[in-house]
Amino acid sequence: MPQLGSATLGESLTRLPDAGDSRPRCLKDHVTSNTSVWVTVLAGGAGTRFWPLSTSLRPKQLLSLAGGRPLIADTLERVRGLVPRGNIRVLTGTHLAEPIRRATGLGDEAILVESRARGTAPALARAAWEIAQSDPDGVMISLHSDHLVSPAARFREILAAAADIARRKDLLITVAVPPDRPETGYGYIRPGEALSTPGGHAAYRVAAFVEKPGPEDAARYVADGYRWNSGIFVWRAAFFLAELGTHAPGIARALPALEHGDIATFFDLAEAISVDEALLERSTRVAAIDATFDWDDIGGWEAVARLNPPDADGNVRVGEAHVAGSKGNIAFAESGRVVLFGARDMLVVRTEDITLVMPRSELVRLKRHLTDLPERFTRTTDDGGAGPDSP
């Protein structure tokens, strides 16, 4: 399969300012594995914004888009040394459980299957409940399976600092990314009161979460010092559950089912909602810590344009693609060849069995367009679990 980026990862990702290496000596080379810290990875969803390359039967977290390993394997490698392997849990749908086992080498106990896709709030509540039962003081780190991060050492350092804050102050922490462009595809964070942190990392209370803005608002947010909400979260599992009980009745009402080991009933009863909407936008105990690593979200096809250098006419080509007399196109050939003549601002994708042609301006509506396609084109199922495209 063609790789998304021909440049090195550090050259391709969102580049953050380098303030020098002021880390404590004990953090400069590694972060010691902590048995009281747990990692959960959201690995459900079909990745529909990356269709037709990503489908419910072959979602992007199982594809080798940025190297030799599937994205989910890269995610787990990134936290090696931060937590013991036994402290890793992956949340996914029923039909993806076995492919994820094969891709990661994790045992059955590490794969938490969602019987129904209900969004990130129920998925993380289920994981938090299990962690809290095993480790009442356990700190839970929630990651997505489709992020690119470099360097991994700084990523682990920020997560370790966030875990320390979450444990000491009982706060719900999100990792915030200083933006390098007015991006309309991400939610934003307005920083509030500063917090003290180990190592002097920039951390603060969250004054407000802002949903995905239009272009003008996005430009204003960047100018005003807002941050991107990366969707990487850190909190004490038991505290997270307590906050759900206070602010998220649609989730709290289903928690007794977990006490009885009835996972299916829990997902049947739980409200389908994102953790941002269910809790983070309502709680007063939310803080953020700035990323000091390079970050990108392989959310959709525009990631291809960010991770690959364009030609002189702004065309990005991946695989066997020929472009002439054309400007501003993305041409992606997983299989066969793609040829563009006289095209402007188009996306052309050829996979083994589907060809997609659409204006790049319509990419924000790709997920909506797919609802009009017959199932034989989209190859969808209804049990994908929580992931990047989930509420």
- Distinct helix (H) and strand (E) counts, the chain: 14, 17
pLDDT at residue 175 in the model: 98
Neighbours of 377 (CB within 10 A): 15
What is the C-alpha separation between 8 and 308, in angstroms, rounded?
10
Could you tell me the residue ranges of all domains in the chain? 9-297, 310-378
> Cα(109)–Cα(89) distance, rounded to whole angstroms?
8
CB 28 within 8 A of CB 21: yes
First to last CA, the chain: 29
Residue 35, pLDDT score: 80
- Residues 188-223 as b/e (b if ≥16 CB within 10 A, e otherwise) read bbbbeeebebeeebbbbebeebbeebeeebbeebbe
List strand residue ranges (DSSP E) for 181-292, in order.
Answer: 188-195, 203-210, 227-236, 286-290
What is the model's pLDDT at position 3?
A: 62
Residue 318's Cβ-count burial label (10 Å; 0-12, 13-18, 19+) is buried
> What pLDDT sits at residue 45?
81
How many other C-beta atoms lie within 10 A of the C-beta of residue 232?
23
Place of tokens 């997920």: 367
Q: What is the pLDDT along the chain (391 residues), one digit of tens a residue?
A: 676 654 333 333 444 434 344 333 333 333 456 789 999 999 988 888 999 999 888 899 999 887 678 999 999 999 999 999 999 999 999 999 999 999 999 999 999 999 989 999 999 999 999 999 999 999 999 999 999 999 999 999 999 999 999 999 999 999 999 999 999 989 999 999 999 887 889 999 999 999 999 999 999 999 999 999 999 999 999 999 999 999 999 999 999 999 999 999 999 999 999 999 999 999 999 999 999 999 998 889 999 998 899 999 999 999 999 999 999 999 999 999 999 999 999 999 999 989 999 999 999 899 999 999 888 887 544 445 666 555 5
Q: Please provide the DSSP assignment of 247-277 as one string.
A: H-HHHHTTHHHHHTT-HHHHHHHS----HII
Domain 9-297 belongs to what topology?
Spore Coat Polysaccharide Biosynthesis Protein SpsA; Chain A (3.90.550)
Q: Backbone phi, then psi, for 274, in 5-degree steps?
A: -80, 155
Choose among 273, 331, 31, 299: nearest CA to 152: 31
